[in-house]
A = this chain, B = another copy of it.
Amino acid sequence: MLKNDLPGLNYSFRNPQRLQLALTHRSHGPINNERLEFLGDAIVGMVVAEILFNLHPDLPEGALTRLRAGVVRGETLADIAIGLDLSSYVRIGNAEKKSGTSRRRSILADTLEAVFAAVYLDGGYQEAVKVITELTRETIANLPDPEELKDPKTRLQEWLQARGREVPEYKIVSETGADHAKEFVVKCRLVDDPVSFSASGSSRRKAQQAAAVLMLDRLLNI
């Protein structure tokens, strides 16, 4: 008989085949969890986005993005999967069983995403939210202080203001490439300083942030 739950998941599957599929790595055969992993990746991204959105009503988008990346990256998901002892349940091919730690961790992270998708398909959105919220709670509680995650432009501006200096000026030096593959070059300069830094990015903002990093590095290391 197929299992309809996993210790620590706190969810009972109505259809245990969904759980079985989620636990089946592609090295096991052609019917495997790859499609579920695709869906699960999107689900965990969204659920964690909402948790952080509600948890930090004052954080700007950039800091939320960085916090989220810390939760949904493979390394973190692998740790959660190991906490669930997923490696005792995942079905992988014999060749794959001999693979090294890093490969094994990546399989476990992918499997966890597939399990999230299986919960979603089996029990609906609210059940998936419950399971993901529970399993990411500790990680989210231990994220770095959002203050440290301020974007470089903000940090540069605050550093200057704290010293009574004027805010930096950002100027677009060039904008090249077709609409879907733009490249911006932005120059960052201070009114009271002859040194300027230019940097590129796929959007005006990204280029500004990259230029701010260079300026900030210099100011902090003078």
Residues of A whose CB lies within 8 Å of any CB of B are: 34-35, 37-39, 41-43, 45-46, 49-50, 53, 59-61, 64-65, 73-75, 102-103, 105-106, 125-126, 179-180, 182, 203-204
Are A53 and B75 in contact, with the CB atoms below 8 A? Answer: no
Q: Are the C-beta atoms of A42 and B38 separated by less than 8 Å?
A: no
- What separation, in Å, do the CA atoms of A23 and B35 have in the docked complex? 35
Q: How many copies are assembled? A: 2
Cβ contacts under 8 Å, A64 to chain B = 35, 38
Leading 6 A-B pairs by shortest Cβ distance:
A42-B49, A46-B46, A42-B46, A34-B61, A38-B61, A125-B125
What residues on B are CB-neighbors of A103 within 8 Å? 204
**Of the candidates B35, B39, B49, which one forms a contact with A39 in the assembled complex, judged by CB atoms under 8 Å apart?**
B49
Q: Which residue of B is nearest A45, CB measured?
A: B42
Instruction: Assess the A53–B65 pair: CB atoms within 8 A.
Output: no
User: Which residues of chain B are within 8 angstroms of A39 by Cβ–Cβ distance?
Assistant: 49-50, 53
- Closest Cβ of chain B to A202, distance in Å, is 10
Beyond known contacts A34-B61, A35-B53, A75-B179: 10 more, CB 8 A cutoff:
A34-B60, A35-B59, A35-B60, A38-B49, A39-B53, A41-B49, A42-B45, A75-B180, A102-B182, A105-B179
Q: Which of A103, A125, A203 has the most CB of B within 10 A?
A: A125
Q: Quote the shortest CB–CB distance from A172 to chain B (angstroms).
A: 10
- The answer on a CB contact under 8 Å between B38 and A65 is yes
> For the complex, what is the distance from the CA of A133 to the CA of B182, rounded to whole Å?
29
Measured CB to CB, the nearest residue on chain B to A52 is: B38
B contact residues around A179 at 8 Å (CB):
75, 102, 105
